[in-house]
Chain A
Amino acid sequence: MSNLKDTIEAGKFAVTGEIGPPKGVDLEKCLADAEHIKGKVVAVNVTDLQAAVMRIGSMAVSAKLIEKGIEPVYQLTCRDRNRLALQSDLLSAWALGIRNVLCLTGDHPSLGDHQSAKPVYDLDSVNLLKVASGLNGGHDMSGHELEGKPDFFLGAVVTPAADPIELQIIKMKKKIDAGAMFFQTQAIYEPAQFEAFMDRIQSFDVPVMAGIVLLKSAGMARFMNENVAGITVPDAMIEEIAGVKKADRKKKAVEIAVRIVDKVKPLCQGVHIMPLGWDELVPEIIEQASLS
């Protein structure tokens, strides 16, 4: 069973966190990050070779979270696996106790640390959702029957600040039709823009969890504005974080996050907090935003 699914279906506001597996086999720090938020969030996303950098896999780290009594959201990208490997990994994930899967395209290898790798993308994220739904239905993508079928809670992502937004929404609709049962969004810094997005997708009957990325510094904000698609940190917010001493940045990051959560909370079904290593701050955000 998926606690994330149960929470959302019960109409309760869902909160998820996120950890990034390391390059190597030492999981101490990454699992400690997850321990900080254990019991505070309903599930924890485990990223899949985030930024196309080779690391330990999201399936292994998801399984480690299960051992610790933490429910994972297993992120699975189309970048590195063909359709055999994607389906096989999904079956393996189920056998290890993984119940939530976030289906993603994946950053291009040229952005990571193995730039000459062959990009796979045998399936795209819409295909992957459809194939995973098929596995839930008891058959593989060739139509062969499975001996024992999984019952994944399938998620997808959407970028509410993308331009043109219509193109995002067309794809979001395809993801829903292909079997997406919940969405987590790219980082939200402008609640008004998120509200406009939620208005546009009013007819879509699907839970949306707003993405919250802790703003660590003005440098990070400027970097995201220049390089990350669908993220715009407003100038006033950059000045706000730039205006505090380094020692007070964590406090300010929490304050900004809480402010955003307060604004988006009435608009959606949950928040997905991406602390980027500042996991120890997540309980404070949850408490201050009255999410517990």
Chain B
Amino acid sequence: MHATIQKPIEDIISFLKPGEKVFVVGCDNCAAKCHSGGIPETERMAERLKKRGVDVVGWSVPGPAGVSLCKLANTKKVFDEQHAAEIEKADSFLVLACGQGLHTVIDATGGGFVHPGCDTIFGGETVSEGVILEYCQLCGECITEFTGGLCPLTLCSKALINGPCGGAKDGKCEVDREQDCGWHLIYERLKAAGKLELMDQYQEPKNFARWSRPRKLNVAPTEATFKSLAGAVTVRNDD
């Protein structure tokens, strides 16, 4: 999921000009799970803004339940069928979702002007109710086959790919002594699995061309094409 956290209300207020008519948008998937932009938070944001004198013309968390704001066709349909009049009045949209959802609102409103109501912080795993941890950088070239499924680009604060730096102490990272050294975790995991020899293998420098921005993915049921500065890569899933 895309982990998000709301911006402080003072920052949000500072984005809005006096008299600006605002429509508030949330997301019923990731932002709902992060309590940054689900139905209760979006409704509450509308109230918090009104309380501070902002002209809120409406709010929406496009359904059906659990659907992501970033599904453009659905969001556009909900906006057109349920909120056309309010959206017509709006000068801008405050989006309580990730950066993808933010752009979806631009597309769904034919180029509407948006304000980010959240900071998008990482792609994460919900490890328990209320705790979201980061395990992947979306780098475009997964190397975890050699690290027991643990990503050193994420778990090592220096993103080292050939083993730890000399800074770990008692298995903790030099950056934060509360945080596990990612390479210590990888070592323990490979050792327990009897696969420590995987660590002997030299890892070539990352191909950052696959981590270029912006990237593009075209998908069909049996074929996908990923396009980055490293070129277009097409794979099939039915051979």
* Complex contacts, A122 vs chain B, CB 8 Å: 205-206, 208
- The answer to whether residues A229 and B208 also contact, given A107-B174, A178-B202 and a CB cut-off of 8 A, is no
Q: By CB atoms of chain B within 10 A, which of A122, A141, A229 has the most? A: A229
Question: Is B19 an interface residue when CB atoms closer than 8 A count as contact?
Answer: no
Set of chain A residues within 8 Å of B161, measured between Cβ atoms: 124, 127
Instruction: Check B162 against A171 for contact (C-beta < 8 Å).
Output: yes
Q: Does A25 contact B (CB under 8 A)?
A: no
- Whether B175 contacts A126 by the Cβ 8 Å rule is no
A130-B204 Cα distance, complex, nearest whole Å: 10
Count of residues in A whose CB is under 8 Å from the partner chain: 39
Instruction: Determine if A126 and B162 form an interchain contact, defined as CB atoms under 8 angstroms apart.
Output: yes
- Contact between B165 and A83 (Cβ–Cβ < 8 Å)? no
A-contact 0/1 string along B57-100, CB 8 Å cutoff: 00000000000000000000000000000000000000000000
* CB neighbours of A247 from chain B (8 A): none
Query: Which partner residue on chain A sits nearest B206 by CB separation?
Result: A122
Complex CA–CA separation, A127 to B166 (angstroms): 16
Closest partner residue, chain A, to B166 (CB atom): A159
152-204 of chain B: CB within 8 A of chain A: 157-171, 174-175, 183-184, 187, 196, 199-200, 202-204
Q: CA A111 – CA B176 in complex, angstroms? A: 10
Q: Smallest CB-CB separation from B161: which chain A residue?
A: A124
Q: Are A105 and B160 in contact (CB under 8 A)?
A: yes
Which residues does chain A contribute within 8 Å of B160, judged by CB atoms?
A: 105, 121, 124-125
Return the contact of B175 from the options A79, A111, A125, A127 (Cβ within 8 A). A111
Contact check: which of B166, B204, B208 meets A105 at CB < 8 Å? B166
Residue in B closest to A178 when the chains form the complex, CB atoms:
B202
Q: Would you call A108 and B167 a contact (CB within 8 A)?
A: yes
A119 near B202 (CB under 8 angstroms)?
no
Question: Is the beta-carbon distance between A170 and B200 smaller than 8 angstroms?
Answer: yes
Please tell me if A67 contacts chain B, counting CB pairs below 8 Å: no
Does A193 touch B at the CB level, under 8 Å?
Answer: no
Interface status of A230 (Cβ within 8 A of chain B)? yes
**Contact between chains at A164 and B187 (CB < 8 Å):** yes
Note all chain A residues with C-beta closer than 8 A to B168.
162, 229
Contact in complex: B157, A127 (CB < 8 Å): no
The answer to the question of A61 belonging to the interface, with a C-beta cut-off of 8 Å to chain B, is no
A229 x B184 contact (CB < 8 A): no
Bound-complex Cα distance A78 to B161 (A): 12
Residues of A within 8 A of B174 (CB): 107-108, 111, 229
Whether the pair A173, B187 counts as a contact (CB closer than 8 A) is no
Contact residues in B for A168 (Cβ distance below 8 Å)? 164, 166
The chain A residue with its CB closest to the CB of B201 is A174
Contact for A130 among B164, B165, B187, B202, CB less than 8 A: B202
Which one of B165, B169, B205, B206 has the highest number of Cβ atoms from chain A below 10 Å of its Cβ? Answer: B165
Closest beta carbon of chain A to B229's beta carbon, Å: 15
A167-B202 contact given A126-B162, A229-B174, A230-B166, CB 8 Å threshold = no
| Contact surface of A with B, Cβ cutoff 8 Å | 78-79, 83, 105, 107-108, 110-111, 119, 121-127, 130-131, 141, 157-159, 162-164, 166-168, 170-171, 173-174, 177-178, 186, 227-230
What are 11 sample pairs from A and B whose C-beta atoms fall under 8 A apart?
A107-B167, A110-B175, A111-B174, A121-B159, A122-B208, A127-B162, A127-B203, A163-B171, A174-B162, A174-B200, A230-B166
- 6 closest A-B pairs by beta carbon, nearest first, are A171-B163, A126-B162, A105-B165, A229-B169, A124-B160, A159-B166
Known contacts A131-B205, A166-B187, A174-B162; can you find 13 more A-B pairs with CB under 8 A? A107-B167, A107-B174, A108-B167, A122-B205, A122-B206, A122-B208, A125-B162, A162-B166, A166-B196, A174-B202, A229-B168, A229-B169, A230-B166
